[in-house]
Structure 1
Amino acid sequence: MRFTINKALVTAVAALSIWGSATAAVDQIDGAGATFPYPVYSKWAQAYKNKTGVQLNYQAIGSGGGIKQIEAKTVDFGASDAPLKKEELDKNGLMQFPMVMGGVVPVVNIKGMKAGELKLDGKTLAEIYAGKIKKWNAPAIKKLNPNANLPDQQITVVHRSDGSGTTWIFTSYLTKVSDVWANGPGHAKAVSWPTGVGGKGNQGVASYVDRIKNSIGYVEYAYALQNKMAYVQLKNKAGNFVEPTASNFQAAASNADWQNAPGFYEVLTDQPGDKSWPITGASFILMYKQPKNPQVAQAVLKFFDWSYANGDQMANELDYVPMPDNVVKLVQQKWQDQIQGNNGQAIWPPQQQQ
């Protein structure tokens, strides 16, 4: 009996077999960057490994380091809280998408001061970080806290020592609310700090504030919660003193126009709204449009797709704000449109390879 072989079918089956086995062989994905989202990425990673066996190896080295590593192609994805503008993305063949939102919060170590008791406005916070307000009982601080027991002690300012998306978000806010700051250190992932001591990562800043009496620092909210730190209330654009909570982060994020943001470049600081937390920001993932290993890139997208679909409760437990469903759909469409395999075909959704 003679068998007629359909060459097209054989080719298709072979391609599917190669793709499937290569994808199945991906048991670890590597990323590096922002410390801002590390707590939630870590939680998602553990749940995903339990579900799929695929491990996420994520180095929380700061947004600047994440950008450098993805540009050097030493990781499968980079993570940054400072979004890159479309021109920079295009120059390096990258695309970015928002993964989660949260808040940066000032935290203090003042004897007897509990979380939420100290109130500051943007101008006063900027002048503390500019070294112009030097003591806790300075008139500007006393005016905002007439009933607080403020010590006659020097303020120790703690800032990031590394290139940091948390710093990018923080200095974005200071620049918007203070001419002193805008005309001085300005807005960047790393600035020339007028005063203070530097800690590496959110962990480093939290550790310094915890150890140094009469200090102030800024960290992602999960670090403030985990370390039981005394966070500050801030006066927002509407003139209301607000606390850092997931609902107040969401209030700030509600004005984001992701649909019309070129390359998803969106800044969420000093947003309008009665409840808006003024130092809100998103964290972004950076990937190549033409990755050197499409199978690994697809495994990365599978992890983030799973996190979008299954990670909301875990994010909420850590007071992060999950991305809205309409934004997730927009992101997934960009994956399909922009990330390509070696043959120029989309690698997302996975069934397109079948």
Structure 2
Amino acid sequence: MKKLFVKALLTAVLCVSANIALCDNVVTVNVVGVPYMHYVYKMLGDDFNSIENRFLLRYVDENANNFAMKVSAGSADFSVSDIPMPHNELIARKLIQFPVMVTAIVPVVNLPGIDSDKLVLDGPVLAGIMMGDITTWNHASISALNPNLSLPSLRIKTLARSYSSGATLAISTYLAKKSSRFAKNIGVGDSLKWPADVQLMHSGEAIETALSKTPGAISYVEMDVGNIKQMKFVRLKHHTGSIVKADLGFLRSGVVSARATEGENGANSLNGVDFANNWPILLPIYVTLPKNALNDERMTLALRFIYWIFNKGDETIEQSGLVPLPVLLQAQAVKVIRVVRSANGGPLIFNFDL
């Protein structure tokens, strides 16, 4: 991020001091996205800038509710979101979307004396906790999953998100599959009506603060964020009996087995498959583009950047704590990219060579 800022500043200084048309050669690609992906895309943009020095990425943190309007109006060249846009909205606004990378959603706890990756829960027990049916940490159902842990008699304090969130969509999708009561009483969505005793947080930062200050608390976060903040992760037990933890290895296994549901406007969603050797709660990161470019030059560079991410961005993505798509899903995305047309409706010609 620092290198990208310095390069942009140096370019501006050279333009003014030398009075040359260097500024005209810089093309700013405008992106709106979820805040926690800002740093990842800035690093990827910095890397891409080293081979395409005209390229400058401007990433603006926005509420996901504004993404469709911004992209369709042309004030953003593409958006980065953890909530897939509904199929009918993609069609109405003439947009396309596809996943680019994946993180995991992980239950996190504040249990004094119990380290990260020590506590084990399964889907039905986690659903019971989130619904308020299981209220203490030494409850029999939790103790049965953790015979070697000395569980405190602390009251469970559940923290959830009050706002539209891909993390909520991902964990509710998983819990609804594991508990028919959760599916019926709470349901699946990016914003839910939680039980009255669940404390609602207005941001990821608020969850981090409340979790650290509240013994007995449990919540759910993105794996990359949890690692950076050194939160205490929970392991999950599959119905097969295997126990998995949230790390890049188990996340890769989950991504390799994931399947995208495709439509005429790209991938509507990316769904994990509950195999014994994979982390089961996936959070795909989607890119949304207009079917018709409003500015051919910016869109050409944006598409080259996305194509470069698929071909050259794996190391940066994994260093950020996320997992790149497998080749098959990347190929599906590239097929969608080729649908984008120029501003006049003709083919948008751009060079895939990197």
Is 2:98 the counterpart of 1:97?
A: yes
Structure 2, gaps ≥5 residues long? 1-20
In the alignment, which residue of structure 2 is the partner of 1:3?
A: none
Aligned residue among 254, 267, 278 for 1:264: 267
Structure 1 residue 233: deviation in Å?
0.1
Change (3 A) 1:57 1:127: farther
Number of matched pairs: 329
Identify if the C-alpha distance between structure 1 residues 64 and 242 changes in structure 2 by more than 3 Å, giving closer, same or farther: farther
CA 113–173 in structure 1, closer or farther in 2 if over 3 Å, else same: same
Aligned to 1:275: 277
Deviations 1:127-149 (A, max 9, x none): 21112222212222112112222
Give the structure 1 partner of residue 27 of structure 2.
Answer: 27
> What is the alpha-carbon distance in structure 2 between the residues aligned to residue 236 and residue 69 of structure 1?
41
Which shows bigger deviation, 217-226 or 86-95? 86-95
CA contact (8 A) 2:256 2:326 kept: no
Deviation of the 1:102 alpha carbon:
1.7
Q: How far, CA to CA, are the matches of 1:183 and 1:33 in structure 2?
A: 32
The share of aligned pairs that are identical, in percent, is 25
Letter in 2 for 1:212: T
Q: 1:33 to 1:126 in 2, by over 3 A?
A: farther
Q: How does 1:143-182 map to 2 (within 5 A)?
A: 143-182=144-183
CA contact (8 A) 1:34 1:164 kept: no
Counterpart in the other structure of 2:13: none
1:74/1:165 Cα in 2 relative to 1: closer, same or farther (>3 Å)? farther
Aligned partners of 2:26 and 2:56 also within 8 Å: no
When normalised by structure 1's length, the TM-score is: 0.83
SS at match of 2:168: helix
Q: Which residue of 2 aligns with 1:44?
A: 44
CA shift for structure 1 position 347: 2.1
CA distance 1:107–1:38, shift in 2 (3 Å): farther
Aligned to 1:332: 334
Q: Distance in 1 between matches of 2:61 and 2:239?
A: 32
Question: Which amino acid counterpart does residue 219 of structure 1 have in structure 2?
Answer: V
For residues 125 and 65 of structure 1, what CA distance do their matches in structure 2 show?
32
Q: Residue 320 of structure 2 corresponds to which residue in structure 1?
A: 318
**What is the aligned-residue RMSD (CA, Å)?**
2.7
User: 1:71 and 1:182 mapped to 2: Cα distance?
Assistant: 34
Distance 1:34 1:84, change over 3 A: same
Report what 1:236 is aligned to.
Answer: 238
SS in 2 for 1:304: helix
Query: What SS does the aligned partner of 2:257 have?
Result: coil
- Call closer, same or farther: CA 1:36–1:127 in 2, change over 3 Å: farther
1:26/1:297 CA distance change after superposition, 3 Å: farther
The superposition leaves residues 283-314 of structure 1 with CA deviations (integer Å, 9 ceiling, x where unpaired) of 11011111322322222222222222221011
- Give TM-score, length-normalised by structure 2: 0.83
Maintained 8 Å contact 1:36/1:81: no
Q: Aligned residue for 1:130?
A: 131
